[in-house]
Structure 1
């Protein structure tokens, strides 16, 4: 695999390192292997003592549109059938192995050794949204589109880092974001505490670079020590424990049983295809479809 074909690129200039999502044609949606490669790249910059601060960004129109759903289907065996034609059902043990690996990947960003700044344009959904919540600083375009729409697959409030979301947004706002999965823009991201600053798209890269340069003025050892103390403070609030709870919750959430009148994304995808399933999923959660009186 050449550097130009890699799902994540590493760039360096002076004390600033950059991790660049390189799947613009997929809105930087990542496969499971891509996510592991991303963490490998993060470790490489962490171990480079010439780098003081890391920028996380994506090529193209979007930051990161989550996990590549075609790959999700493959990894969890959702497209497999048993010899008798019945759908294949992965064991709980197999699912936990996958989900614990995901938890480790999310933890890598919350507990990074160096400050990480997310530069966000376009969509930040699912995995992309989690990364914005886990890194140190977020600079976003005014028209960036954030959401926990992945909750509309049937999780209804379970996430890997729920404690951090409650700390960031407060209990009621967190419940709203996860139960409704509604989309919001860069201005709202600043208002609710997800982002530090929002700027017009044309100013996004320059603004992020300026913030990184300002962070890099700090002594190298001070940045490492300060981040280590920050990580210890998070862990005193149960950070690591929640990721493990989140892994179990994700396993349980992907084994849900649905009533006949409840929207089932996976059944919809099987019968009507992925694109229609996403469209029908979001339509099922829109205000126009809420019960009378709401």
Structure 2
């Protein structure tokens, strides 16, 4: 299958999914969200692949959702369609019968950070910036962000992180348990390739089987969270705070939220 906003590279038992909108720091428009869901569902059926690396082309992993498309008056983002693709993406990524490695450089924000957290191994460069920053535009995390944060750090810390929306350097994120390895700048992709080769030289079928057992037992919870995120996101899109957050973002100023 040909893709416009991503690349799928196959290399024997290794596959790479590359976010490929470098001119906008791999901001995810509706096309990219659909293509990511499609490619992950494609890989789910390919048992010849045992390791999948996710990475971004250009200066960043992903700056998150494409806000310009959200506010485009001529071709606005269809939230009902987008949220279905985001849910497909999250479920496919969580249930992949491969070991997944997130190779993070630059920014990994919003939905981009949710995707990173869904991976089995997270390698981030020292200068990488990670943020669950939906709160900045009056939204809630999606793409299973609530679920994946809770899996990594538990409910109390997940709430703190979601509510604060802070941008974290890689070492701080590692301290929270959100990054598994901090790499020198410019080396995340090399480190990820090395990790992939190391995994492929182990009894990886047993590792994949254990992943399947652990993840299958939590799958219904993930589905439930995705439904709740969809409902909440649709509700938040109608709030005054969201509209103010978007307006402030476009005008490059601090938003004045009112709790409405």
TM superposition score normalised by structure 1: 0.77
Q: Which residue, 25, 36, 44 being the options, matches 1:27?
A: 25
Q: Which residue, 240, 245, 251 being the options, matches 1:265?
A: 245
> For residues 53 and 233 of structure 1, do their structure 2 counterparts lie closer, same or farther at Cα, with a shift above 3 Å needed?
same
2:91 equivalent to 1:107: yes
Q: Which residue, 232, 245, 251 being the options, matches 2:228?
A: 245
In structure 2, distance between residues paired with 1:119 and 1:132: 8
2:9 equivalent to 1:11: yes
Q: Which residue, 183, 188, 192 being the options, matches 2:167?
A: 183
Give CA deviations for 1:182-210 in whole Å, capped at 9, x if unaligned: 11111111111111100111322221111
In structure 2, distance between residues paired with 1:166 and 1:24: 30
Unaligned runs of 5+ in 1: 81-87, 286-294
In structure 2, distance between residues paired with 1:245 and 1:263: 21
> For residues 189 and 267 of structure 1, do their structure 2 counterparts lie closer, same or farther at Cα, with a shift above 3 Å needed?
closer
Give CA deviations for 1:45-68 in whole Å, capped at 9, x if unaligned: 333333110000011110011121
Which residue of structure 2 aligns with residue 68 of structure 1?
A: 66
Which residue of structure 2 aligns with residue 193 of structure 1?
A: 177
Give CA deviations for 1:118-173 in whole Å, capped at 9, x if unaligned: 00000001111111111111000011001122221113x55444233223123332
Shift of residue 19 of structure 1?
A: 0.5
Q: Highest Rg: 1 or 2?
A: 1
Q: Which sits farther off after the overlay, 186-195 or 100-109?
A: 100-109
In structure 1, distance between residues paired with 2:153 and 2:196: 25
Alpha carbons 1:152, 1:181 under 8 Å: kept: yes
In structure 1, distance between residues paired with 2:71 and 2:34: 17
In structure 2, distance between residues paired with 1:218 and 1:265: 48
Alpha carbons 1:161, 1:239 under 8 Å: kept: no
In structure 1, distance between residues paired with 2:155 and 2:47: 39
In structure 1, distance between residues paired with 2:170 and 2:95: 25
In structure 2, distance between residues paired with 1:95 and 1:50: 35
Which residue of structure 1 aligns with residue 54 of structure 2?
A: 56
Shift of residue 267 of structure 1?
A: 4.3
In structure 2, distance between residues paired with 1:13 and 1:101: 27
Alpha carbons 1:62, 1:122 under 8 Å: kept: yes
Which residue of structure 1 aligns with residue 35 of structure 2?
A: 37
> For residues 263 and 197 of structure 1, do their structure 2 counterparts lie closer, same or farther at Cα, with a shift above 3 Å needed?
same
Shift of residue 219 of structure 1?
A: 4.4
In the alignment of these two chains, the number of paired residues is: 256
User: 3-state DSSP class of the match of 1:57?
Assistant: strand
In structure 1, distance between residues paired with 2:237 and 2:175: 32
Alpha carbons 1:158, 1:249 under 8 Å: kept: no
Which residue of structure 2 aligns with residue 131 of structure 1?
A: 115
Which residue of structure 1 aligns with residue 132 of structure 2?
A: 148
Question: CA-atom RMSD, angstroms?
Answer: 2.8
